[in-house]
Amino acid sequence: MPHQPSADLRDWSGRLNRLAAAGRPCFFLLDFELRQPRLWTLDQLPDAGVRFAFPGHPDPLRTAPRPGKLHGPGPDRQAYAAAYAAVQAGLRHGDSFLTNLTFPSPVDFAGTLTAAYEHAAATYRVLLPGRFACFSPESFVKVTAAGRIETRPMKGTAPDTAAGRAALLGSTKEIAEHATIVDLMRNDLSQLAREVRVLEYRYLDSTEAGAAGLLQSSSRIGGQLPSDWRERLGDWLLQLLPAGSVSGAPKPATLDLIRRAEGGPRGYYCGVAGYFDGAELDSCVLIRFLERRADGGFMFRSGGGITARSTEAEEYAELLAKIRLPLGKYV
C-alpha cells in the first residue's frame, strides 16, 4: 500500500516517551502519512531554524516585513471535480460516510514563509524553514499535568457574519458532519482514557477578527488518562492519528478513499505539531498551511468534509474561502 508509515516511528515514539517521562520540554511534528516524524528538545530548535508559537509559549519576534495578501485562482476546477466525484462514489459505495477532501492551490505571495509565520494571527503558528508556515486555529489534544486529556475538533466553516452564523448552525449537512466527527473523536479518546465525555457541543469560534474572517464550529471532548501517560506519550499519540477532523469516518476505509481521490501524499499538511512543556502537552492540527514548492513558488493547501449531502459547488467555495493569510488581530 502506498504511503506506508516510516520505520523511524518507533524511534520517534520511544524518544518522546523518554523525554516526557524525564520532564524535558520538547517540540514535535508528525506528517499526515507518518513518514516524516520530527522531534527536537527546545535547545535544538534554534540550530534547526524551527519556530513555533503556542498558547503559553509566545514567539513575538518579527524580523520580516509584513507580507502582502495571497493571490491565486484556486485549484483546477476540473481536477477538483474529478476528485470530488471519486469521493462521492466512495460514499455511495459505503466506503465512508464522511471524507475530508483536500487540494493544493498555487498562489502568488509577496513575502516569505518567515513573514507569513511572524505576521499571521492564529492560536497556533509553526515554521519549518524552507518547507511550510502554518497558522492553525485547531487544537488536536491537550493533556494537563494531572492527565486530563481534551480534544476540540473543528468541523463546519462559514463567513463571520450574522447570516453565516445562522447558515452554519442551521445546515443539515454541517450538523450531521459535526456529529460524525465528535463521535469518531470520542471513540478515539476512549482507546486511551476513561470517563470520556462530550464537555461542550458545537460552539462557534471566530478564527480571525472582523467581518472578513471565518467562523468554525467546534466541540470539546475530554477524559482521564492513566497516571503513567508521560511514559507512553509517543505511543498513544500515534494511536490517535491521523486526526479525525481531517480524515473522516470510518478511518481505515476513508484513508484509502482519500489516497485514491487526492492522488498524492499531503505531507505535513493535516499532520500535527505538539509542545510538551515538561508537565503538560498541547498540540494542533496543521491546517491553514502555506508551503514552498520545489520550483520556489508557493502553494496553499485547504479542504473540507464531504458527505452525501454535499454539493461540489459549495465544497469548492469553502476550499477557496480558506485560502487566506490571516493578518488581523489575534483572537
Three-state secondary-structure class, residue 124: strand
Mean pLDDT, range 209-219, rounded to an integer: 68
DSSP 8-state symbol, 245: G
Task: Delineate the domains of the chain, giving CATH numbers in brackets.
Answer: 9-152+226-321 (3.60.120.10)
For the four alpha carbons of 172, 320, 289 and 256, in that order, the dihedral sign comes to positive
> Per residue in 271-323, pLDDT tens?
999 999 999 999 999 999 999 999 999 999 999 999 998 999 999 998 998 89
DSSP string, 269-318: TT-EEEEE-SS-EEEEE--SEEEE-TTS-EEEEEEEEE-TT--HHHHHHH
Has residue 116 got a pLDDT over 70? yes
Answer for the pair 322, 288: CB distance below 8 angstroms, yes or no. yes
| Full-model pTM | 0.91
Has residue 234 got a pLDDT over 60? yes
Q: How many CB atoms lie under 10 A from the CB of residue 155?
A: 27
CA nearest neighbour of 318 among 137, 98, 100: 100
Q: How confident is the model at residue 210 (pLDDT cuts 50, 70, 90)?
A: very low
Has residue 211 got a pLDDT over 50? no
Q: Are strands 139-143 and 272-276 parallel, antiparallel or unpaired?
A: unpaired
**Phi, psi at residue 178, to the nearest 5°?**
-65, -45
